[in-house]
Chains A and B, each alone.
Chain A
Amino acid sequence: MSKEAVLILGARSDIGFAVARRFAQAGHAIQLALRDAQGFEDHRRDLELRSNVGVTLHEFDVLDSAGIEPFLDSLPELPIVVVCAVGTMNEQGRSEQEPDLASLDMRSNFEGPALVLGAIANRFETRGRGTIVGISSVAGDRGRATNYIYGAAKAGFSAFLSGLRNRLTGTGVHVITVKPGFVATRMTDGLDLPEKLTAAPSELGEAIFSAVQKGRNVIYVRRVWWLVMTIICAIPEAIFKKLRI
């Protein structure tokens, strides 16, 4: 028998799938939500084989706000944990010129995730328990020239999660904000990332699993990013605006 289900929004992302593997390993049933869910059958089978738990696929588009309630109604059970790993990152330079691309990043990193987690929060609150995990980014801690459109959306998402946590404290529902730094994923393929600052997706799986067990509020992965971002956020704006970091 599998333990209560964990819902992964954006299961096709490397981080989302790594989180799914970690919870499956702990014996939880897994609900994988993503676009073109049928094409993900091989991954579903992989999870089942590895962990001997029930794994289901669910069609889900984070930009379809009208579809949120029907999507939640279609789940075999209301999950005990939801992890939102949805996100896109278009090239900053192109997003500055093409409003549609910028809009896509803003909607898929902030608006969409916030709306669906908000809807899930209401159901969790009614039930009186559950954990909501939002994967934001260190990019949201301070806007930088190289990725501020993505960063602004993540900043919005971080603020949303913070407020949601504040609202739900005392209801039995907990909210965790995850702020990854560099992660070796499809999003960063081909970039030469510094080894010590770059996490493997499986490290995120482990960190998120552990954060859910311990009821943490905000986690940085790797942890050194807390220090990095504290320093970056402490730089006075007059200086910061001249930096290229």
Chain B
Amino acid sequence: MKLSGWGRYPQVECTLHHPRDAHALRDLVTQAGAEAPVIARGNGRAYGDAALAPTGTVSMCAMDQMIHFDAQTGVLQAQAGVLLADVISAFLPRGWFPMVTPGTRFVTLGGMAAADVHGKNHHIDGSFRSCVVWLDLMRPDGSTVRVTPDKTPDLFDRTLGGMGLTGVILQLCIRLTRVETGWIHQHTIDAPNLDAAMAAFEDNPDATYSVAWIDCLAKGAALGRSLVMLGEHATLAQLPANLRRRPLQLPPKPRKAIRMTFPMCALNRWSVKAFNALYYWKSRRKTNSFVDWESYFYPLDAVLGWNRIYGRKGFVQFQCVLPLDRSADGMRALLSEISAAGQGSFLAVLKRFGAQDSAFSFPTEGYTLALDFPATPACLALLTRLEPIVADHGGRFYLAKDAVLSAQRLRETDGRAKGFADTRLAQGEAGVFSSAQSARLKL
């Protein structure tokens, strides 16, 4: 059947399997070979082709049981197909929240580990790997290995951020973090340009959460106009009295779903500009506010199926990180190119990463910029102009978002790629685990 990632681009004809237990999975893995390699797939939220394998895409969604929870330490053991959304609905009412969360909660725990996702607190808490106590990994020979940061550090390092290319993650043990309420105390800084936005990050290194929404159509003196949003988990005492009665409950909200695919022309520079202007003025008015966890962490989740607004050809995500000392120049160059092209991105996000040193994970100290574009020829052309800017500034790309990078560009921008590919060969992983992405990138 035709499958795609969340960006609905590219669409690839894949054989899809739904193993219900480790036995069925082992059969799939051991029968895979150089002819018919497999890749695990979670909830299909990677944007590009990371979880597509024409010869064998293995959906882990049926392996979605929670196994154990320690209410003293907040350590949860669960199968890889468990959704983060389910972890939150199960444990937030008991006062626990994920330590690291990406911008959607409709991801599986296995997918989070494979992409080593990051959140708005990366500069404090690091990427998803920080909360992983151990994970069980099915290796190319069908055996299962318990992978821990201490006992199997190399495999752990390669698996977190390894995009499923070291094996299939069966189950994980993760640490949750204690919260008193489900509310975030948000402080918004109005940054009229890129320098101001970056200064806001550098001035607030202690904020638990920080992220900037950036208007990538702004030009000239306003280039990089942003709203920098800082957040802290609100304590019970901080909450206004009307929220304090049920501090862990979400206020009831309408949920919207987009089931139809929008015409390609629905998103153009004018509609995006109007949206951006509206969002900017609306958010600017509230400098200090209490925001519920769902609106704060997952604004787009409120619109189920939002990926359809980009039309039937789908969209591509672009996310890069630039090293700290090259960030100001590089971001300016990227934003100039984007605003000149006038190809608006709906939600463009700027974020300061903390230090991270890992085998193949995306984050590293510096600034990351994430954008999405409809998969039109004009936008794809823009991406090919952005890539060299990233390369020139020593940056690299996020594979969970990628659908278009070339193998050559990857090797040029990420010195770790060759070593990662070589180890995969030496370990016998390359012949068994392979995705459309890894084939494209020669990993």
B18 at the interface (CB under 8 A from A): yes
- Do A25 and B68 contact each other (CB < 8 Å), given the known contacts A52-B94, A186-B20, A189-B18? no
Residue of A nearest to B64 (CB): A46
- Do A192 and B66 contact each other (CB < 8 Å), given the known contacts A49-B90, A50-B86, A186-B20? no
Q: What residues of B have a CB within 8 angstroms of the CB of A50 in the complex? A: 66, 86, 89-90
Q: What residues of A have a CB within 8 angstroms of the CB of B67 in the complex? A: 42, 45-46, 49
A129 at the interface (CB under 8 A from B): no
Q: Is the interface of B mostly helix, strand, loop or mixed?
A: mixed
**A158-188 vs B: 1/0 string, CB under 8 Å?**
0000000000000000000000000000100
Residue of B nearest to A43 (CB): B65
Are B90 and A51 touching (Cβ within 8 A)?
yes
| Minimal beta-carbon separation of B222 from chain A (angstroms) | 42
B420 at the interface (CB under 8 A from A): no
Q: How many A-B residue pairs have CB under 8 A?
A: 29
Q: How many residues of B contact A (CB 8 A)?
A: 14
Are A42 and B65 touching (Cβ within 8 A)?
yes
Q: What residues of A have a CB within 8 angstroms of the CB of B65 in the complex? A: 42-43, 45-46
Provide the bound-state CA to CA distance between A14 and B63, in Å: 12
| Minimal beta-carbon separation of A199 from chain B (angstroms) | 12
Q: Which of B89-106 touch A at CB < 8 Å?
A: 89-90, 93-94
**B5-37 vs A: 1/0 string, CB under 8 Å?**
000000000000010100000000000000000
Q: What residues of A have a CB within 8 angstroms of the CB of B68 in the complex? A: 45, 49
Q: What residues of A have a CB within 8 angstroms of the CB of B241 in the complex? A: none
Provide the bound-state CA to CA distance between A51 and B68, in Å: 13
Q: What residues of B have a CB within 8 angstroms of the CB of A14 in the complex? A: 62
B69 at the interface (CB under 8 A from A): yes
- Do A49 and B1 contact each other (CB < 8 Å), given the known contacts A25-B89, A189-B18? no
Q: What residues of A have a CB within 8 angstroms of the CB of B1 in the complex? A: 192
Provide the bound-state CA to CA distance between A42 and B67, in Å: 7
Q: What residues of A have a CB within 8 angstroms of the CB of B94 in the complex? A: 52
Q: Which of B53-88 touch A at CB < 8 Å?
A: 62, 65-69, 86
Q: What residues of A have a CB within 8 angstroms of the CB of B18 in the complex? A: 186, 189
**A87-99 vs B: 1/0 string, CB under 8 Å?**
0000000000000
Residue of B nearest to A49 (CB): B66
| Minimal beta-carbon separation of A144 from chain B (angstroms) | 23
Residue of B nearest to A46 (CB): B65
Q: Which of A41-59 touch B at CB < 8 Å?
A: 42-43, 45-46, 49-52
Q: Which of A45, A50, A189 has the most CB of B within 10 A?
A: A50
Q: Is the interface of A mostly helix, strand, loop or mixed?
A: helix
Q: How many residues of A contact B (CB 8 A)?
A: 13
Provide the bound-state CA to CA distance between A230 and B1, in Å: 28
Provide the bound-state CA to CA distance between A42 and B93, in Å: 22
| Minimal beta-carbon separation of B442 from chain A (angstroms) | 31
| Minimal beta-carbon separation of B263 from chain A (angstroms) | 18
Residue of B nearest to A186 (CB): B20
Q: What residues of A have a CB within 8 angstroms of the CB of B20 in the complex? A: 186
Q: What residues of B have a CB within 8 angstroms of the CB of A43 in the complex? A: 65
Are B69 and A49 touching (Cβ within 8 A)?
yes
Are A46 and B89 touching (Cβ within 8 A)?
no
Residue of A nearest to B21 (CB): A42
Provide the bound-state CA to CA distance between A192 and B13, in Å: 11
Provide the bound-state CA to CA distance between A51 and B18, in Å: 25
Q: What residues of B have a CB within 8 angstroms of the CB of A192 in the complex? A: 1
Residue of B nearest to A42 (CB): B65
**A18-60 vs B: 1/0 string, CB under 8 Å?**
0000000100000000000000001101100111100000000
Provide the bound-state CA to CA distance between A43 and B18, in Å: 17
Q: What residues of A have a CB within 8 angstroms of the CB of B62 in the complex? A: 14
Q: What residues of A have a CB within 8 angstroms of the CB of B66 in the complex? A: 45-46, 49-50
Q: What residues of B have a CB within 8 angstroms of the CB of A52 in the complex? A: 90, 93-94
Provide the bound-state CA to CA distance between A14 and B68, in Å: 22
Provide the bound-state CA to CA distance between A175 and B89, in Å: 30
Residues in B lying within 8 Å of A, measured CB to CB: 1, 18, 20, 62, 65-69, 86, 89-90, 93-94
Residues in A lying within 8 Å of B, measured CB to CB: 14, 25, 42-43, 45-46, 49-52, 186, 189, 192
16 contacts between A and B (CB under 8 A): A14-B62, A45-B66, A45-B67, A45-B68, A46-B65, A46-B67, A49-B68, A49-B69, A50-B89, A50-B90, A51-B90, A52-B90, A52-B93, A52-B94, A186-B20, A192-B1
Known contacts A49-B66, A51-B90; can you find 10 more A-B pairs with CB under 8 A? A45-B65, A45-B66, A45-B68, A46-B65, A46-B66, A49-B68, A49-B69, A50-B89, A52-B94, A186-B18
Q: Which 3 A-B pairs have the closest CB atoms?
A: A46-B65, A49-B66, A50-B90
